[in-house]
Amino acid sequence: MLKVDGLTVRADTVELVRDVSFAIAPGERVGLIGESGSGKSLTALSLMGLLPEGVTASGLARLGDRDLVGVPESRVKGLRGRALSMVFQEPMTALNPLMRIGAQVAEVMTLHGRPRQEARERSAELLERVRLPEPGQIARAYPHQLSGGQRQRVMLAIALANGPELLICDEPTTALDVTVQKQMLDLIGEVAPALLFITHDLAVVAAMCERVLVMYGGRVVESGPLREVFTRPRHRYTQGLLAASRLTPRGTRLPTIAGSVPPAGRFPGGCVFRNRCPHATPTCETTPALTGDGHAYACWHPAD
């Protein structure tokens, strides 16, 4: 369980992230959205103990019974890549260009005390787990010999190597083309023990997460179950974000769906998530998406 309470990030006297609080339970997938500069990355980096020089965090952040903020660097280093790990947007900067892939995956385990031979064997398993084709061949390759999507899978393997309790992803698929992006998102959803997923892309959040936090100007301005936030946004910023996104066709008024069980066939309102609705077909209005079975997607269609 991750618990963040009153997290504030400062550069000198300037508050860049203010009083952020949220929790992520095991198995939960939480999206963190907000415009550029709203403080998403700094929030994540402060949990990882990776804030840039001159930037400091205060407040409470605890994973299980271990503090992540306000503790000595050596303590955070012991947790990073073990209890929690992160996948960034650009894998090339995170991978060592001179080291073979298999050795890089194994290294993150030997660094945390696993015997070399065991780490090597597990690294082969991990490359397979992230569904890299020919994992043996990939293990012997150097980063530049892999595609962007393959490199990102390697980063995921590294992130999972020590069995973390929490995975943080910061725009992990932005640099990938759409088909590869989808496969990567499916994989992350499948393997993450608990997930904090940072993105600009509301459709990705809709497909990945059951809960969402919206940041604006360094604060969390809105949070809650995805369906609630996306269909009944309370904060003006969230309303604007949704209205501007491709999830909502221009001019569509977000319908109220509270407690409603739609009749088979036609639904009132517009298809809010049409572009990325998991059903993504013209027949998705006949799916049970809004019948209270836990789907977080609003797949209803304009009534004729």
Ligand X SMILES: Nc1ncnc2c1ncn2[C@@H]1O[C@H](COP(=O)(O)OP(=O)(O)OP(=O)(O)O)[C@@H](O)[C@H]1O
Tell me the Cα Rg of the chain.
20
- For 30, 220, 241, 252, 294, the CA distances from 18, given in Å and listed in that order, are 19, 8, 21, 33, 32
Three-class DSSP category at 21: strand
- Binding residues with ligand X: total (CB under 6 A): 12
> Which of these segments, 30-38, 57-65, 160-168, 245-253, binds ligand X (CB under 6 A)?
30-38
Least distance to ligand X from the beta carbon of 4, Å? Answer: 14
**Backbone torsion region of residue 178, taken as left when φ is above 0, otherwise alpha when ψ lies between -120 and 50, otherwise beta:** alpha
Could you count the other beta carbons within 10 Å of the beta carbon of residue 136?
Answer: 11
Does residue 36 touch ligand X according to CB under 6 A?
Answer: yes
Map the footprint of ligand X across residues 45-74, applying CB under 6 A: 52, 55
Does residue 248 touch ligand X according to CB under 6 A?
Answer: no
Q: Which residue in 5, 8, 10, 11 binds ligand X (CB under 6 A)?
A: 11
- Phi first, then psi, for residue 163 (nearest 5°) are 60, 60
Q: Specify the DSSP class assigned to residue 80.
A: B
Least distance to ligand X from the beta carbon of 190, Å? Answer: 25
Based on CB atoms, which residue is closest to ligand X, 24 or 139?
24
Based on CB atoms, which residue is closest to ligand X, 33 or 84?
33
Least distance to ligand X from the beta carbon of 37, Å? Answer: 4
Based on CB atoms, which residue is closest to ligand X, 34 or 164?
34
Does residue 16 touch ligand X according to CB under 6 A?
Answer: yes
Question: Quick check: 255 and 270 in contact, CB under 8 A?
Answer: yes
- Please give the Cα distance from 276 to 255 (Å, whole number): 18
- Please give the Cα distance from 249 to 255 (Å, whole number): 13
Does residue 173 touch ligand X according to CB under 6 A?
Answer: no
Based on CB atoms, which residue is closest to ligand X, 11 or 243?
11
Question: Quick check: 244 and 285 in contact, CB under 8 A?
Answer: no
Does residue 39 touch ligand X according to CB under 6 A?
Answer: yes
- Judged by the rule CB under 6 A, the positions of this chain that interact with ligand X are 11, 16, 34, 36-42, 52, 55
